[in-house]
Amino acid sequence: MEKQYILSVLVNNHEGVLVRISGLLSRRFFNIISIVAAQTEDPAITQIIIVVQGNEDVIDQVKSQLEKLIDILHVKVLDRDTSVVREHLMIKVRSTQGQIGALVDIANMFKAGIMDVTGDVIILELTGDSHTLDSFIAILKPYPILKMIRTGCSAMSRGEEEAEKKKSPN
Amino acid sequence: MRLTGAQIICECLLEQGVDTVFGYPGGQVLNIYDALYDYTEAGRIKHVLTAHEQGAAHAADGYARASGKTGVCIATSGPGATNLVTGIATAYMDSVPLVAITGNVPCSLLGLDSFQEVDITGVTIPVTKHNFLVKRIEDLASTLRDAFYIANSGRKGPVLVDIPKDVTAAVYDFKPVPPKSTEITYPMDGEELNRVLYLLHSSKRPFLYAGGGVVSCGAEGELAEFAERLDAPVSCTLMCQGGFDQTHPRYMGMLGMHGTKASSLAIKECDLFVAVGTRFSDRVLCNAGNFAKGKPIIHIDIDPAEFNKNIHIAAKLRGDAKKILRFLCEKMERQSHREWMASVAQWKEQYPLAQPAPAPGAATPKEILETLNRLTDSNAILTTEVGQHQMWAAQFYTFRRPRQFISSGGLGTMGYGLGAAMGAKMACPDRTVVNIAGDGSFHMNLNELSTAAKHNIPIIEMVFNNQVLGMVRQWQKLFYAHRFSQTTLEKTTDYLKLAEAFGIKGYRIACQEDIEPVLTDALRQEVPVLIECVIDRDMNVLPMVPAGNSVEEPLLTIEDDRQ
């Protein structure tokens, strides 16, 4: 059965790491839904959050195989229930004079920011969980939406971080 | 000292204890070869110039498997590098420590579709343990050191280092550094250990199964001792032939698609399956769903990604087979399973490996290999190509020591053996080295006979010429209603003339009575030798477990139906 998983992968900030990870995932027929590669408190180390869709019988193997790769320090499969999961959205809509007020109301309702107004084209920004972003986009559909950029999840487990950086060499 | 990148490469090789490399020059490695010239002229590094880069990769691989050291191959950019890929993939699948050094166009030309440019690091990502592109001279020495460390630590494997030409010309400070130890101590999981000991102590009919990992870490002594303490029969994978003395009464033969009937009965009747240094290849499992069904499996391996990968296991111990087996010998009480061992002995006697002659006086692979075994006192190093002859070599030669059987198990690369044999002979010049080939495989990389001749590498190339692509044909017999599509080779090659053309000695075994005199004479030679063995085309590899069947039910015969 196919399910969605959030992989939190800690890696050495070396060229080509992303290629190795995405190559391995596609070889195991895991579809990559989103990738966020983020700087951490240590500039030599990058945290990559990957949302994948794949066979639940294979996810443990994928985790082990990822951990075998030389530049990968640690792989965690995050549980949405015990993690904070956020996405960032920028959305460009067209609005006429009469609609501006309604747009501002929507923005306020969602605590979205208005980033730019150029002529009748407005860019809004929102950070939140996936459902909130889904609702926001749905409400804005009629405007119409000229362009949308949705980053994909960044995620962090709640509470203490398990000792992550040491891993047995392969 | 201030050295060029090319000199740093040579110094790093020496630092790592490398004294033999296999390779082929070209434009982007001109600097490397220029630096190497001083080392080869001074006799500090031996370089074997092969006919094709693939031969160099296979030779480096064979060298590594025979010696336990790291194999090194060098190729130029573009097509030189891509010609290494099959050899690198072969080493990857069998966890062989290899360092492949490729040149590339200067950094300023990278990514511009330059002459002989290829993204070899991109190409080899899935078939290397790791790879590097060295863009700065400052990183060259440390990268090479890392490459050797990665190739030799944990689960071994090939590493590629791609070096643009300008980096080989640049100059930098070099200071020799003793290589970092590749010894790793893995923490022992107390809970798993207790589970393992419990299973070992409560078993009445244990089955001990050893794979390539035992050879890789030199654990043959510990395996033998553990087998005695556990009082279990032993089966070895293709990659572990010689990891257990095959003359020992405990030895049952291979398990799997072409395993022995005795071992398939043993797995059927055992109550515990202990696997050491093996990855449960599909060639062994045959049908994962009913492999050792209902029996607990203990898995000892250095690579945790192998646990529960192909089959569900009951207990696991992660680490070096040598250390773990030694530890278990200390912790485990001596067991005794006399009845079980008696049953196994009886099965061995009841189901010996047989190969009837197709016609009176015909030479059979079995008789050829058994004669070779006798004449070499079970002490030759055998390399193989891939196919029926490969299986016969594993079945009919008696391997007593590790690193005696060198064969492409995981990738199954036809054309591997000749290069590998040269590498093995370079590693072990005092041993007899024989490559067992089929006529199909032979024709793939026969160009390397010129290398054997030129460098006077006295290997014996035995071509089991049955005029067909035997293994594929056997499957076509069983599953494709004898529709022999493209498997009838019937090459018009005159092997004796071919040997002469390459400047090596040629022989022919045409029938049974040729076997002993030809082999005796060939084994005496101190030059490379080619022996064509005329074999009937309808010989089969048996037993055989057809795809999807249970490993417990091998076929012992195949109806030939020569209509």
For residue range B362-389, list pLDDT tens digits in order.
999 999 999 999 999 999 999 999 999 9
Q: What is the DSSP letter of A51?
A: E
Residues on chain A touching B187 (C-beta within 8 angstroms): 168
Interface probe with B: pick from A15, A26, A58, A170, most Cβ of B within 10 Å: A170
- Least confident range from A50-54, B240-244, B329-333, B481-485: namely A50-54
Q: In whole angstroms, give the CA distance from residue B117 to residue A122.
A: 47
- Establish if A125 touches chain B: CB-CB under 8 angstroms: no
Instruction: Tell me if residue B165 is catalytic.
Output: yes
Reported as a pLDDT band with limits 50, 70 and 90, residue A167 is low
Residues of B in contact with A12 (CB under 8 A): none
* B116 part of the active site: yes
- Considering only CB atoms, A68 lies closest to which of B133, B305, B307, namely B305
Q: In terms of DSSP H, where are the helices of B77-160? A: 79-82, 85-93, 120-124, 140-152
Query: Phi/psi zone of residue B490: left (φ > 0), alpha (ψ -120 to 50 degrees), beta?
Result: left
Residue B54 scores a pLDDT above 90: yes
Give chain A positions within 8 Å (CB) of B125: 16, 19-20, 23
Answer whether CATH 3.30.70.270 is correct for domain B2-173.
no
- Please tell me whether the overall predicted TM-score, pTM, comes out greater than 0.90 for this model: yes
C-alpha A154/C-alpha A85 separation (Å) is: 6
| Token pair in block for residue B73 | 């191959």
Four-way CATH pick for B190-350: 3.40.50.1220, 3.90.1150.10, 2.40.160.60, 3.20.20.450: 3.40.50.1220
Is position B53 annotated as part of the catalytic site?
yes
Q: Closest to A70 (Cβ–Cβ): which among B150, B184, B304?
A: B150
B186 neighbourhood in chain A, CB within 8 Å: 168
Q: Does A119 touch chain B (CB under 8 A)?
A: no
Residue-level pLDDT at A161? 77
Hey, where are the domains in chain A?
2-78, 84-154
Of the candidates B125, B184, B318, the beta carbon closest to that of A169 is on B184
Whether B514 has a pLDDT exceeding 70, the answer reads: yes
Q: How far is CA B487 from CA B359, B401, B484, B557, B559, in A?
A: 23, 35, 6, 21, 19
Average pLDDT over residues B436-463: 98
- Report which residue type is found at B98: L
Chain B residue numbers with beta carbons less than 8 Å from the beta carbon of A26 are none
In DSSP terms, B437 is beta-bridged to B463
Burial code (b: 16+ CB inside 10 Å, e: under 16) for B424-438 equals bbbbbeebbbbbbbb
**CB contacts, 8 Å: B129 with chain A:** 70, 170
**Pair B558, B541: CB distance under 8 Å:** no
B308 with A70: Cβ contact below 8 A: no
Share of chain B above pLDDT 70, in %: 99
pLDDT band for position A165 (50/70/90)?
Answer: low
Task: Identify which of B396, B359, B404 has the alpha carbon closest to the alpha carbon of residue B379.
Answer: B404
pLDDT of residue A101: 85
Domain B365-534 homologous superfamily, CATH: Thiamin diphosphate (ThDP)-binding fold, Pyr/PP domains (3.40.50.970)
A40 or A162, which is more confident: A40
**Is B477 an active-site residue?**
no
Q: Can you tell me which residue has the tokens 């007020």?
A: A101
| pLDDT at residue A100, as a whole number | 83
User: Using CB atoms, which residue from A15, A65, A170 is nearest to B154?
Assistant: A170
Q: Does B188 touch chain A (CB under 8 A)?
A: no
**B70, two tokens:** 């790291």
Query: ipTM, 2 decimals?
Result: 0.88
Contact B193, B298 (CB under 8 A): no
Q: Which amino acid is at B211?
A: G
pLDDT range class, residue A168, cuts 50, 70, 90: low
For domain A2-78, give the fold: Alpha-Beta Plaits (3.30.70)
User: Tokens at residue B68, please?
Assistant: 């336990």
One fold for A2-78 and A84-154: yes
User: DSSP string spanning B353-365?
Assistant: -----SSTT---H
Question: Please, which residues 129-158 of chain B have a Cβ atom closer than 8 Å to chain A?
Answer: 129-130, 133, 150, 153-155
List A residues 64-83 in contact with B (Cβ-Cβ < 8 A): 64-65, 67-71
Rounded (10°) angle between helices B321-331 and B190-202: 60
Q: Which phi and psi angles does B72 have, rounded to 5°?
A: -125, 130
Return the CATH superfamily for domain A84-154.
ACT-like. Chain A, domain 2 (3.30.70.1150)
What share of chain B has pLDDT > 90, as a percent? 97
User: Residue B563: its pLDDT value, please?
Assistant: 39
Window from A117-121, B238-242, B534-538 with minimum mean pLDDT: A117-121
Tell me: pLDDT of B560 over 80: no
What number is the average pLDDT over the span A89-115?
Answer: 90
- Check CB contact of A28 with chain B, cutoff 8 Å: no
Three-class DSSP labels, B62-98: HHHHHHCCCEEEEECCCHHHHCCHHHHHHHHHCCCCE
Mean pLDDT value across chain B: 96
pLDDT at B72 > cutoff 60: yes
CA distance B207 to B252: 10
What does the pLDDT read at residue A146? 93
| A64:B304 CB<8 A | yes
Kindly report the backbone phi and psi dihedral angles of residue B161, in degrees, each rounded to the nearest multiple of 5, phi listed first.
-120, 115
* Alpha-carbon gap, residue B94 to B99, rounded angstroms: 14
Q: Give the separation between CA B48 and CA B25, rounded to whole angstroms.
A: 11
Looking at residue A169, its pLDDT comes to: 56
Which tokens sit at B497? Answer: 């003339």
Task: State whether B125 and A27 contact (CB < 8 Å).
Answer: no
Residue of B nearest to A168 (CA): B186
A170 close to B (CB below 8 A): yes
* Cβ atoms of B257 and B229 closer than 8 Å: no
Closest CA to B433 of B387, B397, B469: B397
CA distance B378 to B289: 37
